[in-house]
Structure 1
Amino acid sequence: MPVPMTSYQIAADLTERIKTGEYPAGSQLPTYATLANLYSVSPATIAGVMRILRERGVVIGVPGRGTFVPE
C-alpha cells in the first residue's frame, strides 16, 4: 500500500494543478471530502492543506461557499 502524501506534498500538487490551469482563476476547488478521497487522506489533513494554501495566497476561503482560486 502506498504511503499517503504529506500535507506539504498535497499543497505542492494542488498549487501545480492551479498553475497549469486544471483549477483556473475564479474556479472552486473540490470539497474537502472529494480531495480527501483523491489523495487518500483524512478531511482533517485537507483542512491543514487549505490552511497552508490560504497562508500562501494560493486559494481563498469563502465562508459558507467553499474554497476558490483567486481571480
Structure 2
Amino acid sequence: MPPQYRYQQIAEDMANRIKSGEFPPGSRLPSRAELCEQYEVSSFVADRVYLMLKMQGLTESLPGAGVYVKENAPGR
C-alpha cells in the first residue's frame, strides 16, 4: 500500500470518528484552529481534511458557523 499524505490519514481518522458516533449527525466538528492544534498540522492540511470529508458526503460547511456532520451521512 502506498504511503498516505498526512491530510489523508487525518481525514480517515475523522471519518472513523464520525462513523463510530463520536461526532453524531448534526454535531459541529472542531474548528480549523482546533484541528491544527490537535493534529499538529497547518491550516492548509486542515482545509484538505475538511474537503475530503465533504467529498465523502460526511460533512457540510455552513459559512461563518463551521463544519457539521450531515444528518444523512453515509455509513451511519
- TM-score, normalised on structure 2? 0.83
Counterpart of 1:47 in structure 2: which amino acid?
D
1:33 paired with 2:33, answer yes
Whole-Å Cα distance in 2 between the matches of residues 69 and 43 of structure 1? 20
Deviation of 1:60 (Å): 0.5
Percent of paired sites with the same residue: 40
Deviation of 1:20 (Å): 0.9
The alignment's C-alpha RMSD in Å is: 1.0
Whole-Å Cα distance in 1 between the matches of residues 69 and 42 of structure 2? 22
Q: Counterpart of 1:17?
A: 17
Counterpart of 1:38 in structure 2: which amino acid?
Q
Q: Counterpart of 1:47?
A: 47
Pairing of 1:53-64 with structure 2 (within 5 A)? 53-64=53-64
Whole-Å Cα distance in 1 between the matches of residues 6 and 58 of structure 2? 18
Q: How many positions carry a matched residue from both structures? A: 67
Query: 4+ residue runs of structure 1 moved beyond 6 angstroms?
Result: none
Counterpart of 2:24 in structure 1: which amino acid?
P
Structure 1: state its 5+ residue gaps: none
Deviation of 1:33 (Å): 0.5
Deviation of 1:43 (Å): 1.4
Q: C-alpha deviations, 1:15-63, integer Å up to 9, x for none?
A: 0000111111000001000011111101111001111111111111111
